[in-house]
């Protein structure tokens, strides 16, 4: 090759290289590499510490708008060409107009991608200048055809945490929907805060993972995008993950959001908790609970009178048989439902002011509460924080119709609760109907305060607002504009209502506790305890996530109704995870003395809890941190308080299992257990722990003086 030809080749190579560089926009630091091409497609989403790239060169957004005559009009990124510019750590993608392939629309979409120290932040701004339209939904960011290492599992925060071993298989296991476009994609429905505890999800492996979070301090509804799309052969094989927001942007309006983040992280699933908790600490405002709440091993739930009129327990039973049953398993806290005259889920909110006249009315109920409290017993008093009975005077003649949620057509949103007795007619045909109160309405806030005052008046120890920890699928709709618009901050409204009630109660009596049902982070922070909704018996239950992320929140167990075949393992899990026992025998229709196997084992377990309550109840849950074991079938968790640590060890898979337990920086002190357990202390400050099937042992350690 002569000199002239060589020079030509070199110049051509340089030109090609520069052209490629100009067609790819890259953000990079020591942990993450992110890049898009000149069409705005995600080319790289790489964990630089492991070298794995989750991206595959697909679109990162789609958008939906409504017109009067058609909803869910789709705009795809692939049909639109952006202008792109980059600064040192930011990429700006701009679309001055959008098309859906059929018509041009006067929508402006501006996307901003920022590389922060350990995450990629995806900002967006929408302007709608198209008449007679509303931009309903923006799905962004999307990781389409998301590439996964073989060990990655799907971690959601449904009911506090669920773990699915195979993400693709899980999505495809959802039954075909008669009402959805399954020919285009298969979808798993996960939306914060409707049964979802925190606004994040992740794909987690042993040593790395991909975290998605909407760090949105307004706590607006956010869909956690989990879809399977077809490949070129129309096999549903391509996983798409992302976050969906709902601008509800009318013509002439703009909308912004910069809350959505993606993190390719290194480490175990604990990193997802740390990412979310770091953000949550910017708004978290949890007060210390009363000591008696922290020390309670659990509570027994009963229904005194049911919805259809059956009396299951009298006021006299409350302070005698009920009290005795709880004390037989070391529990002196009771949680009565249906203590008013009309019975459970009946007559709200008027019913709370009418106790049973045949049992002495208020004075009879006060006497029963005082009787239960003798010797240190505590009473959690039930109220429903959101339901208004459509047969109540408050609804028919009072403010009920003014304070309840209205639908997208202005009609009331109605819920029904189908409790039944021994027959079939009542539960199937004759259910009670309720409308749902808007908790941000000052008139309903006043009702919540009245419930707290009623608790104080009757002498109980806690006010419990049922269902205030749950975000309904839709809140109140504003139908005064061209298009109806829903309130997407229902859970924030409920959190504010609980804060208001908590502040009010604190001024009255700091030892009076407040609780609610359902785990959602923004509401949990204002409660002293949360009656959970997760199911320990489910194979995908992973309440470990919420326990580790928010260890200060006191949670009960759920769905254990009697002498179940695996009752020993379920109770061992309560200790393992630091949960409080929720005794709901036969759906609150009996006491634990009617289930002798449950009663006998729980009594033993709660002796163990009480012995080490300074750690198991008053300590901080640390999950699997601070120690190591060498047997995979054994379950172990740690709790710390001051200079002490407790390690709980149990297993259900083998007749006997042995593990070596190593706790760096701590010295072994003692242990106690239930069942077949043995602890042998080694010469190198390790313990050999032998645990029989469905047995449990708690080992206590003290920090060595030379370890801070």
Quick check: 22 pLDDT over 70?
A: no
* Averaged pLDDT for residues 403-417: 94
User: 620-703 maps to which CATH number?
Assistant: 2.60.40.1180
Nearest CA among 539, 540, 530 for reference residue 578 = 530
Query: Tens digits of per-residue pLDDT, 507-540?
Result: 999 999 999 999 999 999 999 999 999 999 999 9
Torsion, Cα of 30, 31, 37, 40 (10° steps)? -130
Q: Where residue 563 falls among pLDDT bands split at 50, 70, 90?
A: confident
Query: Tens digits of per-residue pLDDT, 494-512?
Result: 999 999 999 999 999 999 9
Cβ–Cβ < 8 Å for 551, 277: no
d(CA 412, CA 418): 19
pLDDT score at 689: 97
pLDDT score at 431: 86
Phi first, then psi: give them for residue 429, nearest 5 degrees.
-105, -35
C-alpha of 571 from chain center: 22
pLDDT score at 4: 44
Cβ–Cβ < 8 Å for 568, 694: yes
Phi-psi label, residue 220: left if phi above 0, alpha if psi -120 to 50, beta otherwise: beta
Q: Where residue 332 falls among pLDDT bands split at 50, 70, 90?
A: very high
Percent of the chain at pLDDT > 70 equals: 97
Question: What are the extents of the domains in the chain?
Answer: 25-280, 291-611, 620-703
* Averaged pLDDT for residues 175-201: 94
Quick check: 1 pLDDT over 60?
A: no
Cβ–Cβ < 8 Å for 637, 575: no
Phi first, then psi: give them for residue 325, nearest 5 degrees.
-60, -45
Span 25-280 CATH architecture: Distorted Sandwich (2.70)
Q: What is the DSSP letter of 411?
A: P
Query: Tens digits of per-residue pLDDT, 224-243?
Result: 999 999 998 999 999 999 99
Counting every residue, how long is the chain? 708
pLDDT score at 177: 85
Query: Tens digits of per-residue pLDDT, 250-303?
Result: 999 999 999 999 999 999 999 999 999 999 999 999 999 999 999 999 999 999
Considering the entire predicted model, what is its pTM?
0.95
CA angle 327, 331, 333 (to 5 degrees): 110
Cβ–Cβ < 8 Å for 560, 574: no
Q: What is the mean pLDDT of the chain?
A: 94
Q: Which residue has the higher pLDDT, 706 or 646?
A: 646
Quick check: 14 pLDDT over 60?
A: no
Q: Where residue 706 falls among pLDDT bands split at 50, 70, 90?
A: confident
539 token code pair? 């194979």
Nearby residues of 571 by Cβ (< 8 Å), 6 or more positions away: 581, 601, 602, 605
pLDDT score at 213: 98
Span 291-611 CATH architecture: Alpha-Beta Barrel (3.20)
Q: Within 10 Å of residue 248's Cβ, how many Cβ atoms? A: 19
Q: Residue 415, SS3?
A: strand
pLDDT score at 7: 39
Q: Which run of H or of E encompasses 210?
A: strand 208-214
């Amino acid at each position: 090759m002569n000199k002239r030809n060589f020079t030509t080749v070199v110049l051509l190579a340089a030109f090609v290289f520069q052209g490629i560089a100009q067609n790819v926009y890259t953000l990079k630091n020591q942990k993450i590499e992110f890049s898009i091409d000149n069409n705005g497609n995600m080319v790289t989403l790489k964990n630089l510490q492991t070298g794995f790239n989750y991206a595959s060169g697909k679109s990162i957004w789609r958008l939906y708008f409504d017109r009067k005559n058609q909803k869910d009009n789709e705009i795809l990124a692939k049909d639109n060409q952006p202008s792109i510019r980059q600064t040192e750590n930011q990429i700006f993608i701009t679309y001055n107009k959008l098309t859906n392939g059929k018509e041009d629309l006067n929508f402006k979409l501006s996307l901003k991608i920022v590389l922060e120290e350990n995450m990629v932040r995806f900002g967006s701004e929408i302007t709608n200048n198209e008449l007679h339209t509303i931009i309903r939904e923006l799905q962004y960011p999307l990781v389409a055809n998301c590439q996964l290492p073989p060990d990655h599992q799907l971690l959601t925060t449904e009911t506090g945490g669920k773990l699915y071993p195979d993400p693709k298989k899980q999505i495809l296991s959802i039954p075909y929907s008669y009402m959805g476009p399954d020919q285009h994609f298969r979808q798993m429905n996960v939306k914060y805060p409707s049964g979802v505890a925190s606004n994040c999800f992740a794909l987690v492996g042993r040593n790395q993972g991909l975290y998605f979070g909407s760090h949105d301090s307004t706590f607006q509804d956010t869909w956690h995008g989990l879809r399977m799309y077809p490949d070129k052969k129309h096999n549903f094989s391509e996983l798409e993950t992302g976050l969906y927001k709902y601008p509800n942007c009318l013509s002439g309006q703009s909308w912004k959001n910069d809350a959505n983040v993606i993190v390719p992280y290194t480490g175990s699933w604990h990193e997802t908790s740390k990412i979310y908790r770091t953000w949550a600490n910017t708004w978290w405002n949890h007060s210390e609970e009363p000591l008696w709440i922290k020390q309670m091993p659990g509570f027994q739930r009963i229904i005194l009178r049911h919805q259809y009129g059956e009396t299951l327990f009298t006021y006299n039973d409350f302070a005698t048989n009920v009290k005795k049953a709880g004390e037989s398993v070391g529990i002196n806290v009771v949680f009565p439902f249906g203590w008013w005259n009309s019975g459970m889920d009946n007559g709200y909110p008027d019913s709370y002011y009418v106790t049973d006249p045949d049992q002495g009315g208020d004075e009879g109920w006060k006497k029963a509460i005082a009787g239960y409290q003798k010797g240190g017993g505590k009473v959690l008093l039930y109220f429903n924080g959101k339901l208004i009975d459509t047969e109540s005077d408050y609804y028919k003649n009072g403010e009920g119709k003014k304070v309840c949620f209205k639908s997208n057509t202005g009609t009331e949103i109605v819920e029904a609760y189908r409790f039944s007795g021994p027959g079939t007619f009542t539960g199937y045909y004759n259910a009670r109907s309720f409308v749902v109160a808007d908790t941000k309405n000052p008139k309903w806030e006043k009702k919540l305060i009245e419930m707290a005052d009623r608790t104080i008046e009757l002498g109980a120890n806690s006010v419990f607002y049922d269902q205030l920890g749950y975000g309904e699928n839709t809140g109140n709709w504003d139908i005064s504009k061209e298009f109806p618009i829903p309130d997407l901050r229902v859970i924030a409204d409920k959190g504010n209502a609980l804060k208001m009630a908590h502040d009010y109660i604190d001024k009255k009596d700091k030892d009076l506790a407040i609780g609610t049902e359902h785990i959602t982070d923004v509401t949990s922070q204002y409660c002293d305890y949360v009656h959970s909704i997760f199911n320990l018996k489910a194979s995908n239950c992973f309440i470990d996530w919420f326990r580790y992320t928010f260890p200060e929140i006191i949670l009960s167990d759920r769905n254990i109704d009697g002498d179940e075949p695996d009752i020993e393992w379920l109770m061992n899990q309560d200790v393992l995870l630091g949960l409080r026992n929720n005794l709901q025998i036969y759906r609150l229709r009996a006491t634990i003395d009617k289930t002798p196997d449950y009663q006998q084992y729980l009594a033993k377990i709660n002796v163990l809890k009480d012995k080490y309550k300074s750690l198991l109840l008053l300590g901080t849950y640390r999950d699997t941190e601070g120690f190591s074991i060498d047997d995979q079938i054994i379950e172990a968790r740690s709790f710390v308080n001051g200079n002490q640590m407790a390690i709980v060890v149990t297993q259900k898979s083998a007749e006997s299992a042995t593990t070596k337990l190593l706790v760096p920086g701590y010295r072994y002190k003692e242990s106690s257990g239930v069942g077949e357990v043995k602890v042998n202390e080694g010469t190198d400050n390790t313990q050999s722990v032998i645990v029989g099937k469905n047995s449990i042992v708690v080992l206590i350690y003290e920090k060595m003086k030379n370890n801070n």
